[in-house]
Amino acid sequence: MTLAPSARLAVLASGRGSNLAALLEAFPGQVAVVISNKRDAPALERARAAGIEALHVPWPPGGARDFEAAVETLLSSRQVTLVLLAGFMRLLSPGFTRAWHGRILNIHPSLLPAFPGLHAHAQALNAGAAFTGCSVHFVDAGCDTGEVILQKRVPVQAGDTEETLSRRLLPAEHEAYPQAVRLVLRGLAFPRPQPGEIEAEFGVNVAADAQGVRAARLLRDWGREDAVADALEGHLTPLTSLARSTDELRLAWTTLDSLSERRARWEKRGELLVQAETLGLGAHCARALAVTADEWDTTTY
Protein backbone atom coordinates (compact mmCIF):
# COMPACT_ATOMS: atom_id res chain seq x y z
CA MET A 1 0.00 0.00 0.00
CA THR A 2 1.40 3.41 -0.86
CA LEU A 3 0.95 6.43 1.35
CA ALA A 4 -0.05 9.87 0.18
CA PRO A 5 2.84 12.37 0.30
CA SER A 6 0.57 14.45 2.52
CA ALA A 7 -0.10 11.52 4.90
CA ARG A 8 -0.85 12.48 8.47
CA LEU A 9 1.86 11.49 10.94
CA ALA A 10 1.89 10.55 14.62
CA VAL A 11 5.04 10.57 16.75
CA LEU A 12 5.41 8.35 19.83
CA ALA A 13 8.16 9.52 22.18
CA SER A 14 9.13 8.81 25.78
CA GLY A 15 11.80 11.41 26.46
CA ARG A 16 13.75 14.43 25.29
CA GLY A 17 12.16 14.72 21.86
CA SER A 18 15.04 16.03 19.75
CA ASN A 19 14.08 13.70 16.87
CA LEU A 20 10.50 14.87 17.28
CA ALA A 21 11.74 18.45 16.86
CA ALA A 22 13.53 17.49 13.62
CA LEU A 23 10.35 15.83 12.32
CA LEU A 24 8.17 18.81 13.25
CA GLU A 25 10.51 21.09 11.35
CA ALA A 26 10.65 18.81 8.30
CA PHE A 27 6.90 18.16 8.10
CA PRO A 28 5.12 21.37 9.10
CA GLY A 29 1.39 20.83 9.46
CA GLN A 30 1.67 17.07 8.89
CA VAL A 31 2.18 15.79 12.45
CA ALA A 32 -1.35 15.30 13.72
CA VAL A 33 -0.57 14.11 17.23
CA VAL A 34 2.31 13.36 19.60
CA ILE A 35 1.80 10.61 22.17
CA SER A 36 3.94 9.69 25.16
CA ASN A 37 3.75 6.97 27.78
CA LYS A 38 5.45 9.48 30.16
CA ARG A 39 3.31 12.30 31.50
CA ASP A 40 6.31 14.60 32.01
CA ALA A 41 8.20 13.79 28.79
CA PRO A 42 9.90 16.92 27.41
CA ALA A 43 8.74 15.68 23.98
CA LEU A 44 5.14 16.52 24.96
CA GLU A 45 6.21 20.03 25.95
CA ARG A 46 7.99 20.50 22.62
CA ALA A 47 4.88 19.41 20.75
CA ARG A 48 2.61 21.74 22.73
CA ALA A 49 5.00 24.63 22.18
CA ALA A 50 4.71 23.94 18.44
CA GLY A 51 0.91 23.94 18.67
CA ILE A 52 0.59 20.19 18.09
CA GLU A 53 -1.81 18.01 20.03
CA ALA A 54 0.25 16.24 22.71
CA LEU A 55 -1.24 13.43 24.77
CA HIS A 56 -0.11 11.27 27.64
CA VAL A 57 -1.31 7.67 27.39
CA PRO A 58 -0.13 5.65 30.41
CA TRP A 59 1.56 2.30 29.90
CA PRO A 60 -0.27 0.01 32.32
CA PRO A 61 1.77 -2.33 34.53
CA GLY A 62 0.12 -5.34 32.88
CA GLY A 63 1.56 -4.67 29.42
CA ALA A 64 0.82 -3.15 26.07
CA ARG A 65 -2.83 -3.98 25.49
CA ASP A 66 -4.65 -1.01 27.01
CA PHE A 67 -2.00 1.42 25.77
CA GLU A 68 -2.26 0.10 22.23
CA ALA A 69 -6.06 0.12 22.24
CA ALA A 70 -6.08 3.76 23.35
CA VAL A 71 -3.44 4.68 20.78
CA GLU A 72 -5.32 2.89 17.97
CA THR A 73 -8.43 4.92 18.79
CA LEU A 74 -6.45 8.16 18.75
CA LEU A 75 -4.69 7.32 15.49
CA SER A 76 -7.84 6.42 13.65
CA SER A 77 -9.77 9.46 14.90
CA ARG A 78 -6.89 11.71 13.75
CA GLN A 79 -6.66 9.86 10.41
CA VAL A 80 -3.01 9.03 10.97
CA THR A 81 -1.46 6.71 8.37
CA LEU A 82 2.22 6.72 9.41
CA VAL A 83 3.52 6.22 12.95
CA LEU A 84 7.02 7.37 13.91
CA LEU A 85 8.68 6.09 17.07
CA ALA A 86 11.25 8.61 18.26
CA GLY A 87 12.86 7.59 21.52
CA PHE A 88 9.79 5.55 22.42
CA MET A 89 11.08 3.23 25.12
CA ARG A 90 8.50 0.42 25.08
CA LEU A 91 8.13 -2.70 22.95
CA LEU A 92 4.86 -2.78 21.04
CA SER A 93 3.03 -6.08 20.65
CA PRO A 94 3.20 -8.22 17.48
CA GLY A 95 -0.52 -7.55 16.88
CA PHE A 96 0.06 -3.79 16.82
CA THR A 97 3.18 -3.91 14.66
CA ARG A 98 1.46 -6.31 12.23
CA ALA A 99 -1.52 -3.97 11.90
CA TRP A 100 0.90 -1.11 11.08
CA HIS A 101 3.22 -3.19 8.88
CA GLY A 102 5.13 -0.85 6.56
CA ARG A 103 3.57 2.17 8.24
CA ILE A 104 5.51 2.29 11.52
CA LEU A 105 9.14 3.44 11.72
CA ASN A 106 11.75 3.74 14.46
CA ILE A 107 15.17 5.32 14.81
CA HIS A 108 17.96 3.53 16.62
CA PRO A 109 21.43 4.87 17.44
CA SER A 110 23.56 2.15 15.82
CA LEU A 111 24.22 0.64 12.41
CA LEU A 112 21.72 -2.21 12.72
CA PRO A 113 21.89 -5.17 12.89
CA ALA A 114 24.86 -4.23 15.13
CA PHE A 115 24.07 -3.20 18.70
CA PRO A 116 20.27 -3.46 18.96
CA GLY A 117 18.40 -2.76 22.18
CA LEU A 118 19.40 -0.59 25.10
CA HIS A 119 22.73 1.26 25.50
CA ALA A 120 23.66 1.09 21.82
CA HIS A 121 26.44 3.69 22.23
CA ALA A 122 28.00 1.75 25.11
CA GLN A 123 27.76 -1.44 23.09
CA ALA A 124 29.66 0.21 20.22
CA LEU A 125 32.33 1.53 22.60
CA ASN A 126 32.74 -1.81 24.35
CA ALA A 127 33.09 -3.59 21.00
CA GLY A 128 35.88 -1.18 20.00
CA ALA A 129 33.98 -0.18 16.85
CA ALA A 130 35.74 2.40 14.66
CA PHE A 131 32.40 3.58 13.33
CA THR A 132 28.87 3.59 14.53
CA GLY A 133 25.80 5.39 13.24
CA CYS A 134 22.05 5.44 13.24
CA SER A 135 19.37 3.43 11.47
CA VAL A 136 15.79 4.29 10.57
CA HIS A 137 13.90 1.05 10.13
CA PHE A 138 10.45 -0.41 9.75
CA VAL A 139 9.21 -1.79 13.05
CA ASP A 140 8.39 -5.48 13.35
CA ALA A 141 7.65 -7.61 16.39
CA GLY A 142 11.32 -7.81 17.43
CA CYS A 143 13.50 -5.27 19.19
CA ASP A 144 15.23 -3.18 16.46
CA THR A 145 14.98 -6.08 14.00
CA GLY A 146 12.81 -4.57 11.24
CA GLU A 147 14.07 -3.84 7.72
CA VAL A 148 16.44 -0.88 7.51
CA ILE A 149 15.36 2.13 5.43
CA LEU A 150 18.30 4.50 5.83
CA GLN A 151 21.56 4.62 7.80
CA LYS A 152 24.16 7.29 8.53
CA ARG A 153 27.70 6.58 9.67
CA VAL A 154 29.73 8.57 12.21
CA PRO A 155 33.25 7.85 13.50
CA VAL A 156 34.00 6.72 17.05
CA GLN A 157 36.91 8.79 18.39
CA ALA A 158 39.58 7.91 20.92
CA GLY A 159 38.42 8.80 24.40
CA ASP A 160 34.74 8.81 23.45
CA THR A 161 32.21 8.26 26.20
CA GLU A 162 28.55 7.35 25.78
CA GLU A 163 27.81 11.04 26.14
CA THR A 164 30.29 12.37 23.58
CA LEU A 165 29.38 9.65 21.10
CA SER A 166 25.66 10.21 21.44
CA ARG A 167 26.19 13.97 21.07
CA ARG A 168 28.14 13.41 17.82
CA LEU A 169 25.51 11.00 16.51
CA LEU A 170 22.42 13.08 17.23
CA PRO A 171 22.73 15.50 14.26
CA ALA A 172 23.02 12.46 11.96
CA GLU A 173 19.77 11.12 13.47
CA HIS A 174 18.06 14.44 12.85
CA GLU A 175 19.14 14.29 9.20
CA ALA A 176 18.25 10.62 8.73
CA TYR A 177 14.75 10.50 10.17
CA PRO A 178 13.09 13.11 7.93
CA GLN A 179 14.91 11.73 4.88
CA ALA A 180 13.71 8.20 5.65
CA VAL A 181 10.14 9.43 6.12
CA ARG A 182 10.30 11.19 2.74
CA LEU A 183 11.52 7.94 1.15
CA VAL A 184 8.49 6.15 2.56
CA LEU A 185 6.07 8.93 1.57
CA ARG A 186 7.52 8.96 -1.95
CA GLY A 187 6.94 5.22 -2.23
CA LEU A 188 10.67 4.53 -2.53
CA ALA A 189 11.05 2.60 0.74
CA PHE A 190 8.75 -0.25 1.72
CA PRO A 191 9.16 -3.64 3.37
CA ARG A 192 10.01 -6.69 1.26
CA PRO A 193 6.82 -7.28 -0.76
CA GLN A 194 4.84 -10.47 -0.34
CA PRO A 195 4.10 -12.48 -3.54
CA GLY A 196 0.39 -11.73 -3.20
CA GLU A 197 1.08 -7.98 -3.18
CA ILE A 198 3.18 -8.24 -6.34
CA GLU A 199 0.47 -10.18 -8.10
CA ALA A 200 -2.15 -7.64 -7.03
CA GLU A 201 -0.07 -4.74 -8.34
CA PHE A 202 1.50 -6.20 -11.50
CA GLY A 203 -0.52 -9.31 -12.28
CA VAL A 204 2.64 -11.45 -12.14
CA ASN A 205 3.02 -14.12 -9.48
CA VAL A 206 6.73 -13.88 -8.61
CA ALA A 207 8.90 -13.08 -5.61
CA ALA A 208 10.80 -9.82 -6.02
CA ASP A 209 12.79 -7.57 -3.72
CA ALA A 210 12.11 -3.88 -3.21
CA GLN A 211 14.66 -2.93 -5.85
CA GLY A 212 12.92 -5.16 -8.41
CA VAL A 213 9.58 -3.58 -7.55
CA ARG A 214 10.96 -0.05 -7.87
CA ALA A 215 12.46 -0.90 -11.28
CA ALA A 216 9.19 -2.51 -12.40
CA ARG A 217 7.24 0.59 -11.33
CA LEU A 218 9.61 2.83 -13.29
CA LEU A 219 9.13 0.73 -16.42
CA ARG A 220 5.37 0.73 -15.99
CA ASP A 221 5.39 4.53 -15.54
CA TRP A 222 7.53 4.80 -18.68
CA GLY A 223 4.92 2.87 -20.69
CA ARG A 224 7.17 -0.20 -20.97
CA GLU A 225 4.82 -2.79 -19.42
CA ASP A 226 6.51 -5.34 -21.70
CA ALA A 227 9.62 -5.20 -19.48
CA VAL A 228 7.90 -5.26 -16.07
CA ALA A 229 8.00 -9.04 -15.56
CA ASP A 230 11.70 -9.12 -16.48
CA ALA A 231 12.41 -6.41 -13.91
CA LEU A 232 10.52 -8.27 -11.19
CA GLU A 233 12.26 -11.52 -11.98
CA GLY A 234 15.68 -9.86 -12.06
CA HIS A 235 16.39 -10.60 -15.73
CA LEU A 236 18.93 -8.18 -17.12
CA THR A 237 17.95 -6.60 -20.42
CA PRO A 238 18.82 -3.11 -21.72
CA LEU A 239 15.48 -1.84 -20.38
CA THR A 240 15.65 -3.48 -16.96
CA SER A 241 19.29 -2.44 -16.55
CA LEU A 242 18.34 1.14 -17.32
CA ALA A 243 15.50 1.05 -14.78
CA ARG A 244 17.75 -0.51 -12.11
CA SER A 245 20.56 1.96 -12.74
CA THR A 246 18.12 4.87 -12.63
CA ASP A 247 16.77 3.60 -9.34
CA GLU A 248 20.25 3.14 -7.90
CA LEU A 249 21.33 6.59 -8.98
CA ARG A 250 18.29 8.38 -7.57
CA LEU A 251 19.07 6.64 -4.27
CA ALA A 252 22.86 7.06 -4.46
CA TRP A 253 22.73 9.65 -1.65
CA THR A 254 21.40 6.95 0.73
CA THR A 255 24.41 4.60 0.64
CA LEU A 256 27.09 4.29 3.31
CA ASP A 257 29.95 5.13 0.91
CA SER A 258 31.83 8.36 1.58
CA LEU A 259 29.92 11.47 0.57
CA SER A 260 32.52 12.26 -2.10
CA GLU A 261 32.11 8.78 -3.65
CA ARG A 262 28.33 9.17 -3.68
CA ARG A 263 28.55 12.62 -5.24
CA ALA A 264 31.00 11.39 -7.88
CA ARG A 265 28.49 8.72 -8.89
CA TRP A 266 25.72 11.31 -9.11
CA GLU A 267 27.88 13.70 -11.13
CA LYS A 268 28.19 11.00 -13.79
CA ARG A 269 24.43 10.79 -14.33
CA GLY A 270 24.90 12.26 -17.80
CA GLU A 271 26.25 8.88 -18.93
CA LEU A 272 23.05 7.16 -17.86
CA LEU A 273 20.94 9.81 -19.56
CA VAL A 274 22.79 9.20 -22.83
CA GLN A 275 22.05 5.48 -22.49
CA ALA A 276 18.39 6.30 -21.75
CA GLU A 277 18.25 8.49 -24.85
CA THR A 278 19.29 5.56 -27.03
CA LEU A 279 16.28 3.66 -25.70
CA GLY A 280 14.01 6.65 -26.26
CA LEU A 281 13.62 7.14 -22.50
CA GLY A 282 15.84 10.16 -21.82
CA ALA A 283 13.11 12.47 -20.54
CA HIS A 284 11.57 9.71 -18.39
CA CYS A 285 14.93 8.86 -16.85
CA ALA A 286 15.68 12.53 -16.12
CA ARG A 287 12.29 12.93 -14.44
CA ALA A 288 12.89 9.85 -12.26
CA LEU A 289 16.28 11.16 -11.17
CA ALA A 290 14.75 14.53 -10.30
CA VAL A 291 12.38 12.97 -7.73
CA THR A 292 15.02 12.79 -5.00
CA ALA A 293 17.58 15.26 -6.38
CA ASP A 294 16.67 17.71 -3.60
CA GLU A 295 17.99 15.23 -0.99
CA TRP A 296 21.56 16.06 -2.01
CA ASP A 297 21.01 19.47 -0.37
CA THR A 298 20.04 17.86 2.95
CA THR A 299 22.72 15.15 2.92
CA THR A 300 25.80 15.93 4.98
CA TYR A 301 26.55 12.49 6.44
Q: Which residues are annotated as a binding site for (6R)-10-formyltetrahydrofolate?
A: 65, 89-92, 106
Q: Return the residue nearest ligand GRF (CB atom).
A: 87
The correct pick among 8, 38, 108, 244 for binding ligand GRF (CB under 6 A) is 108
Annotated binding-site members: 17-19, 65, 89-92, 106
Contact letters for ligand GRF, residues 177-216 (x by CB under 6 A)? ----------------------------------------
Select from 87, 146, 178, 193 the one that contacts ligand GRF (CB under 6 A).
87
Nearer to ligand GRF by C-beta: 180 or 242?
180
Q: Which residue in 56, 101, 108, 235 is the catalytic one?
A: 108
Q: What H or E segment, with its residue span, contains residue 231? A: helix 228-233
Helices marked H in 50-157: 65-77, 94-99, 120-126
Residues in contact with 190: Cβ distance below 8 Å, sequence separation at least 6, in sequence order? 2, 102, 184, 210, 213
Q: At closest approach, how far in Å is the CB of 290 from ligand GRF? A: 31
Q: Is 121 a catalytic residue?
A: no
Which contacts qualify for 36-41: CB closer than 8 Å, 24 or more apart? 36/12, 37/12, 37/67, 37/88, 37/89, 37/90, 38/14, 41/13, 41/14, 41/15, 41/17
> If binding is defined by CB under 6 A, does position 150 make contact with ligand GRF?
no
Supply the minimum distance, in Å, between the C-beta of residue 19 and ligand GRF: 3
Positions 16 through 35 that interact with ligand GRF (CB under 6 A):
16-20
The answer, yes or no, to whether the previous bond of 42 is cis (omega within 30 of 0) is: no
In the list 3, 9, 10, 13, the residue contacting ligand GRF (rule: CB under 6 A) is 13
Query: CB under 6 A: which stretch of 47-55, 107-115, 180-188, 198-206 binds ligand GRF?
Result: 107-115
Widest CA span in the chain: 64
Per-residue burial over 3-28, b if 16 or more Cβ lie within 10 Å, else e, is beeebbbbbbbbbebbbbbbbbebbe
In order of 247, 249, 291, the CA distances from 255 in angstroms are 13, 10, 17
Instruction: Convert residues 120-149 into a mask of x (bound to ligand GRF by CB under 6 A) and - (unbound).
Output: --------------x---------------
The one segment of 10-18, 58-66, 73-81, 188-196 that binds ligand GRF by CB under 6 A: 10-18
Residues 6+ apart with CB under 8 A from 263: 296
Nearer to ligand GRF, 132 or 246 (CB): 132
Question: Is the Cβ–Cβ distance between 46 and 21 less than 8 Å?
Answer: yes
Number of residues located near ligand GRF, criterion CB under 6 A: 14
* Cα 35 to Cα 224: distance, rounded to the nearest angstrom: 45
Binding site for ligand GRF (CB under 6 A): 13, 15-20, 86-87, 107-109, 134, 173
- Catalytic residue positions? 108
